[in-house]
Amino acid sequence: MVEGEGDGSPLFETEVAEGIGRIWYKLHALSVFVGICGIWAYRALHIPNAEEEQEQGQGRWWAWIGLFGAELWFGLYWVLKQAVRWNPTYRRTFKARLSQRYRNNLPGVDIFVCTADLTIEPPIMVINTVLSVLAYDYPKDKLSVYLSDDGGSELTFYALLEASHFARTWIPFCQKFNVETRSPAAYFKESHTSQKDVTEAVEWIATKNLYKEMENRINQVTRFGRLSNDIRKQHKGFCEWNVPSTSCDHHAIVEILIDGRDENATDNEGVVLPTLVYMAREKRPEHHHNFKAGAMNSLLRVSSEISNGAVILNMDCDMYSNNSETIKDALCFFMDEDKGHEFAYVQLPQRFNNITKNDIYANCLRTEYEVEFHGLDGFGGPLYVGSGCFHRRESLCGKKYESNKAEMKYNKRNTRADASTLEEKAKSLITCTFEDNTEWGKEVGLKYGFPVEDVITGLSIQCRGWKSIYFNPPRVGFLGVAPVTLAQTLVQHKRWSEGNFQIFLSKYNPLLYGHKKIKLGLQLGYNIYFLWAPCSFPTIYYAIIPSFALLHAISLFPSVHSIWFAPFAYVIGVTTIHSLWESKKVGYTLKGWWNERRMWLFKRLASYPFAATDAFLKLLDVKKLAFIVTAKVADEEVSKRYEKEVMEFGSASLMFIILSAHAVFCLLCLLGGVKKLVLDGTGEMSSMLVQLTVTGAITLINMPIYQAMFLRVDGGCMPISVTIISVGLAMLACIIGTK
Ligand SMILES: O=c1ccn([C@@H]2O[C@H](COP(=O)(O)OP(=O)(O)O[C@H]3O[C@H](CO)[C@@H](O)[C@H](O)[C@H]3O)[C@@H](O)[C@H]2O)c(=O)[nH]1
Ligand SMILES: [Mn+2]
């Protein structure tokens, strides 16, 4: 036995960042905090009095108080952000020890893939995700994959049936040639025969042809919109669609496409296959289905009947597994003899395979995944953010944490009931009324009532005493599809920020609900995300008032010659440098950093305000919960512009009117202000420097908007109606208040 590999050695290792770098970081943070206090002091000590107001214009007092409020907010929010930067924690697993120690005692793993909409989540994409997890490097008799289809479509069922056939070739192929990328579409895109020897190349070509043929069949059927009679004869499951049904009105369907207990269900090399199940829960217009949370809870019940794996992996249909070892990684945490029993879930970062070089819409959330989540891990574990999360079934089903060390076991499968009996039993668990008068959606399973079902579920699991793990493997674990237009990103962020803020406003507010249950650092950490939406108000204020005052040559900041200038310069300068440094460290380009800054502003101007409003309306019970599924396909023109990192507008929307009206407004303020200062000689340059900088920076960041309004002519440019309305609005705003 290798030294250190014995029974007692841990299955994972934790490293907390320390050393001189940390000390510098903390000193820097302290100094910035002093600067922030300086800004607060300046505001508090210089509140304009009535006399001054006479001199400098009516609204100055209001402007001042508003800025004070905004600066208080930003300062406190900055403090929250330090919490997750204080103790970054990193994890490493020892998979060889796991395999050696638990060779025959590994637990069953159930993988849940969710899909909801046939048109924006094409079946070929869905089954690529399914194939990537079917091919996991894990004992196949312990692996079960479930597809939940909220679209309830026979086309998706057909695609899954095709996948179940192709899996027989794909799984052994991956094993034999050590394929790392186990989504066939992604694999055949990145790999070429030229890198292979003859035998491999032959099999490579054969497998690729098989895949391409399947892809063609599926895409043809999808385009056509229905199945031929020949196809419908291929499997008894198609009978389920004999009665007319729609995505929101149909009975429960459960079809076991591959029964892992069946000795004849083997791949081309004669090895047993993983279990594969199609599920569409019953849907009726008069019953609320609770979106993804409802689907996940149905999956929990159906899987408990069929395979009852002790570990559950949650996947979105667009996010394939890119690393065939992540199940083992997750198990290194769950099965560690010393600490394992404490962990409820292991979240991996969500990465995307369609991010452009400079990540124009700041979709990859690198700061969150590379910096902040490591910080959260130091305080008891990260948020559960959906796709790419491994759960202990017990904790997801509502169990409280108990400190006794119980080993995670392999649950024996029900071998008596045959597949069709299991299917019938499973169907009875996913009817519309099954959950009535039960704890499902409340204390059991994923929680209902929030558009970010995962985050609230994770929080309540942590509040039941469990810890969670953030694991960021060297080879990316999961790769999904990020939105490719500005509108999609803004809408996606509206859902997230609204859901998060809704939690903040509810009884689940981490400061109350988590009090004495989770660490303070984690409570603060949660609030970074929960307060996204209200961050919009101080930002809007700060993005308008200083510029407006500049236009009127009213100074709202200290003059360069004043000692009070120092804290402003220091805080603005150092936080900018720090964010540059941080984003460089996590792999952003300079332009990527700039794009991230832009999206920071755009989200706060045009997405979060809607989220905050809707969250309040929901609190008052005037608005119903909605879940807009993010689009995963785009037409060719749009994709081309995305590849070239040209910002996409194209359609008229209120979000765009806000953005462009604000952009024009700032430009007018900048021009007007400079004219006043330079040509008319009103006001002092030295006391306007901060406002000039702020307005100038906003104008620079808005460059793509001006281009889209006045220079571009392609399909993604700003619609002329939006341009007219926003220029009108901006001019109106500039005129108001001008005497
Ligand atoms: O009624 C529904 C709505 C959605 N989904 C599925 O839920 C997943 C997530 O939806 P998507 O529109 O892709 O949301 P994203 O914003 O991309 O997803 C992020 O945010 C969600 C919470 O808002 C999490 O559930 C996801 O895991 C996380 O990746 C997709 O697979 C959908 O098919 C359903 O199964 N039923
Ligand atoms: Mn998604």
Is residue 630 in contact with ligand 1, taking CB distance under 6 Å? yes
- What's the CA-to-centroid distance between 493 and ligand 1, angstroms? 12
Task: Answer for the pair 718, 648: CB distance below 8 angstroms, yes or no.
Answer: no
- What's the CA-to-centroid distance between 481 and ligand 2, angstroms? 6
Within 8 A by CB and 6+ apart from 56, the residues are 48, 554, 555
Q: How confident is the model over 540-597, as pLDDT tens digits?
A: 999 999 999 999 999 999 999 999 999 999 999 999 999 999 999 999 999 999 999 9
Q: What is the C-alpha separation between 530 and 521, in angstroms, rounded?
A: 14
For a ligand 1 pocket test, name from 114, 319, 607 the mutation site with the most ligand atoms within 8 angstroms of its C-beta: 114
Q: How confident is the model over 672-723, as pLDDT tens digits?
A: 999 999 888 877 889 999 999 999 999 999 999 999 999 999 999 999 999 9
Mean pLDDT score, 364-368: 93
Architecture of domain 95-350+385-482: Alpha-Beta Complex (3.90)
- What's the CA-to-centroid distance between 524 and ligand 2, angstroms? 26
Question: What are the residues whose beta carbon lies below 5 Å from ligand 2 (ion)?
Answer: 316, 630
Atom of ligand 1 nearest to the CA of 455: 22
Q: Which of 150, 318, 336, 614 is catalytic?
A: 150
In 3D, which of 400, 361, 368 has the Cα closest to residue 383? 368
Q: Is the pLDDT of residue 450 over 60?
A: yes
- What's the CA-to-centroid distance between 40 and ligand 2, angstroms? 41
Nearest residue CA, atom 28 of ligand 1? 386
The predicted structure's pLDDT at residue 3: 41
The larger pLDDT score, comparing residue 244 to residue 30, is at 30
Q: Is the pLDDT of residue 336 over 70?
A: yes
The predicted structure's pLDDT at residue 738: 62
Nearest residue CA, atom 17 of ligand 1? 630
Q: How confident is the model over 629-663, as pLDDT tens digits?
A: 998 988 999 999 999 999 999 999 999 999 999 99
Judge whether 150 counts as a catalytic residue. yes
Pairing mode of beta strands 343-347, 389-392 = antiparallel
Query: Which strands sit side by side in the sheet containing 275-280, from one edge to the other?
Result: 253-258, 275-280, 143-149, 109-115, 311-316, 389-392, 343-347, 467-470
Is residue 452 in contact with ligand 1, taking CB distance under 6 Å? yes
Q: How confident is the model over 457-512, as pLDDT tens digits?
A: 999 999 999 999 999 999 999 999 999 999 999 999 999 999 999 999 999 999 99
Cα torsion at 281, 285, 289, 292 (round to 10°)? 80
The predicted structure's pLDDT at residue 1: 38
The predicted structure's pLDDT at residue 104: 87
Q: How confident is the model over 691-704, as pLDDT tens digits?
A: 999 999 999 999 99
Q: How confident is the model over 251-282, as pLDDT tens digits?
A: 999 999 999 999 999 999 999 999 999 999 99
Burial of 191 (0-12, 13-18, 19+ CB in 10 A): middle
CB atoms within 10 A of CB 509: 17
What residue spans in the chain does CATH classification 3.90.550.10 cover?
95-350+385-482
The predicted structure's pLDDT at residue 52: 65
The predicted structure's pLDDT at residue 193: 79
Q: How confident is the model over 290-315, as pLDDT tens digits?
A: 999 999 999 999 999 999 999 999 99
The predicted structure's pLDDT at residue 50: 66
For 682-710, give one letter per residue: b (16+ CB within 10 A) or e: ebeeebbbbbbebbbebbebbebbbebbe
Is residue 670 in contact with ligand 1, taking CB distance under 6 Å? no
Is residue 350 in contact with ligand 1, taking CB distance under 6 Å? yes
Is residue 386 in contact with ligand 1, taking CB distance under 6 Å? yes
The predicted structure's pLDDT at residue 70: 98
Task: Quickly state the pLDDT bin for 191 (edges 50, 70, 90).
Answer: confident
Q: How many CA atoms lie within 13 A of 83 on its CB side?
A: 20
The larger pLDDT score, comparing residue 706 to residue 58, is at 706
